[in-house]
Structure 1
Amino acid sequence: MITVSKGDLAGTAVDAIVNISPAPLEDALVAGESFKGGSFIYTFGMGEADKAEVRLFTRKALLRAEERGLHNIAFLVPVTGVGELAPETAAQVMVSEARCLLVHSSVENVIFSIFTDTAFETFSKIARRDQVVCLGDSITYGYPGGPETSWVALSSKMAGLTLVNEGMNGDSTRGMLDRLQYDVRPMGPAYVIILGGANDILLGSSVEEIQNNIKTMARVALDAGICPVLVMPPPALPGGGFVPPGLAGCLAEA
């Protein structure tokens, strides 16, 4: 669970507190660790960190908590902000990293403690997202029966979730990348499930090209505060052909 609180953490029980320090950039991402009042304290110097560095900092803090088997972690977001990022960009980066980790982690709760009204409203808006969009080709669309017979509709019914079907017959990962940027990103979902590559293979695209498109989709999603979930296409493809073994590895790398 991701929550956003206003002000300090008085009365909030947490296993770890991440303190963002305005230390010079050369000290950024080097965490100091201490133990006080029942909580581990991780201090990171951020300086004028850019988006990639803030993402790495957030990931390192979450992974450090996971390594210790901690369950509740709080980030203290200072009045001065996070690195050189605007509040919305910082929220998109940090919240998306938290969402992705919470899918498969001992960490159960991430709290962002905010001290300014603007940042509080921005972090709260992004943390409240709950929509799940399924982006793909005909496999996602539900060909030949239509969306009502798709895995999206069946999963939605079985899990009791609202999943948005953004499958398109015949689409490639290149086309999916365009639709992610211009159709899915403006929706502002919490997660995007990406299942593609079958048509690329049928059209003779290389594994490297598919991998690059999938990597770019993952990066675009994360930069927009969306957690990407990558799914392998089925081994046997409609109309004949098989997914090459290298595609599984490329998804893992993406």
Structure 2
Amino acid sequence: MTKLSVNINKIATLRNARGGEFPSVTEAAVKLQEFGAQGITIHPRPDERHITRKDVYDLKPLVYTEFNIEGNPHRSFIDMVLEVKPEQVTLVPDADDAITSNAGWDCEKHAGFLKNVIAEFKNAGIRTSVFLDPDPQMVKFAAETDTDRIELYTESYAKNYSENKEEAIRLYIETASEAQKYRLGVNAGHDLSLENLKYFADNIPNLLEVSIGHALISEALYMGMENTVQAYLKRLAKW
């Protein structure tokens, strides 16, 4: 079964809109795990507009499933991750002022940089994943960085799913299949939702984990958090 990691950035966004500690990102992480989530994902950014550095350290002792920290590997980010030692770090090439992640790595262009960063994390016993567009030709270069996994950037799939789901997923299947040849694990995330997740999970080979935040937290406003997590787990189940 593909694991469900819940990105709780939106909980932090709501808290920061009013200041204070409500809603609590730490309580959300605890509850999500109780409700069945198999991981907690956060994406701290330099301006701390949602997840703060304090949140990162506060969450560490509370995440007993899998802690996944995403981010652009600036030196301050690298040092924080090495200190916290989550189970997984996902490297994302987003600009500091990006509203959300919007592209995968050019692993050919940034091969040397990525290899050095990944070596630091792997030496500390932290599993690594690199954010990748659905491009089978890029997998070879990702493998050369010595990453453990790739995370497929799924915005284009989600955007085109309702129009032509077979075409929307085609490059993702090809990219994941290529990853298998290089013995890379496959994660996925960005705009996956209750509507489009099952088809994706059923068709992507070796899909180990999905990271879902915006849609899941939004759907929880109507369905409740526990019901929403269970609905996502049902989409991921293999019968």
State which structure, 1 or 2, has the greater radius of gyration over its C-alpha atoms.
Answer: 1
Greater strand percent: which structure? Answer: 1
Q: Is the shorter-chain TM-score for this pair beyond 0.5, marking a shared fold?
A: no
TM-score by length of 2: 0.32
Q: Per residue, is there more helix in 1 or in 2? A: 2
Q: Whose relative contact order is higher, 1 or 2, with alpha carbons under 8 Å and at least 6 apart?
A: 2
TM-score (norm 1): 0.31
